[in-house]
């Protein structure tokens, strides 16, 4: 074997810890992976809270949102593994247990997603700065997803603001939320 092959061979198979993305990008994606799990946990807490308020449609909606965030985390996890990263998982922060009324819950969800959008935009900037186009492509999927998530939450919030405390209106919205079938964002 010529020595010219050794660095490539080493890069791909023989050097545990040698990854195809930079260390700072690896760290940033591991942090984002944790944020996705944290989002899942927050949505499960929101689902539990809505069940507690007996808004079972909203509880089901947030449970699907929890599953969706798990899919997001898995997407990043799979990418990191493909890139040769040893994924070391961190602690997931404890979510709140009380979110106020139904409108407050959805407002909290929207605020959360807006902060995720900002963080994902920063991550995309980071990838571009490093000319890491593979990671940039992965992140664009997330950036597009954020547009959909924020629009969906904004639509639900508008309806909740319209009905205010009207019991019949809240019941109708709860029924509508309960019709969501899959772990992709849709009201
Ligand atoms: Fe993982 Fe709600 O975006």
> Can you give the pLDDT at residue 123?
98
Centre of ligand 1 to C-alpha 23, Å, is 24
- Tens of pLDDT, residue by residue, the chain (187 residues): 334 444 444 444 445 556 789 999 999 999 999 999 999 999 999 999 999 999 999 999 999 999 999 999 999 999 999 999 999 999 999 999 999 999 999 999 999 999 999 999 999 999 999 999 999 999 999 999 999 999 999 999 999 999 999 999 999 999 999 999 988 754 4
The 3-class secondary structure across 99-128, one letter per residue, is CCCHHHHHHHHHHHHHHHHHHHHHHHHHHH
> Can you give the pLDDT at residue 17?
55
Domain ranges of the chain: 23-178
Centre of ligand 1 to C-alpha 163, Å, is 27
Centre of ligand 1 to C-alpha 16, Å, is 31
Centre of ligand 1 to C-alpha 68, Å, is 7
Atom of ligand 1 nearest to the CA of 36: 1
**DSSP code of residue 3:** G
> Can you give the pLDDT at residue 185?
58
- Ligand 1 binding residues, C-beta < 6 A: 36, 39, 69, 72, 113, 116, 145, 149
* String of DSSP letters for 23-84: HHHHHHHHHHHHHHHHHHHHHHHHHHHHHHTT-HHHHHHHHHHHHHHHHHHHHHHHHHHHTT
Superfamily of domain 23-178: Ferritin, core subunit, four-helix bundle (1.20.1260.10)
> Can you give the pLDDT at residue 18?
64
> Can you give the pLDDT at residue 19?
75
Residue 149 burial (10 A CB sphere; 0-12, 13-18, 19+): buried
Centre of ligand 1 to C-alpha 64, Å, is 12
Atom of ligand 1 nearest to the CA of 146: 3
| Other beta carbons within 10 Å of 52 | 12
Q: Which residues are CB-contacts of 123 (< 8 A; sequence separation ≥ 6)?
A: 28, 29, 32, 139
* pTM (predicted TM-score): 0.89
Q: How far is CA 175 from CA 56, 148, 162, 164, 170, in A?
A: 8, 21, 16, 16, 9
């Amino acid at each position: 074997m010529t020595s010219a092959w050794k660095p490539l061979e080493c890069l791909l198979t023989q050097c545990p810890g040698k990854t195809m993305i930079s260390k700072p990008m690896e760290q940033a994606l591991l942090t984002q992976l944790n944020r996705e799990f944290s989002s899942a946990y927050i949505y499960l807490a929101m689902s539990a809270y809505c069940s507690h308020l007996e808004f079972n449609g909203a509880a089901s909606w947030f449970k699907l949102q929890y599953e969706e965030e798990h899919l997001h985390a898995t997407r990043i996890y799979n990418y990191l593994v493909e890139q040769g990263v040893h994924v070391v998982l961190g602690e997931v922060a404890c979510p709140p247990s009380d979110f106020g009324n139904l409108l407050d819950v959805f407002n909290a969800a929207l605020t959360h997603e807006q902060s995720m959008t900002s963080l994902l935009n920063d991550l995309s900037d980071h990838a571009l700065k490093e000319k890491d186009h593979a990671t940039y492509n992965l992140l664009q999927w997330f950036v597009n997803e954020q547009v959909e998530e924020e629009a969906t939450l904004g639509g639900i919030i508008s309806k909740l603001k319209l009905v205010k405390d009207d019991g019949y209106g809240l019941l109708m919205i709860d029924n509508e939320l309960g019709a969501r079938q899959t772990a992709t964002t849709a009201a």
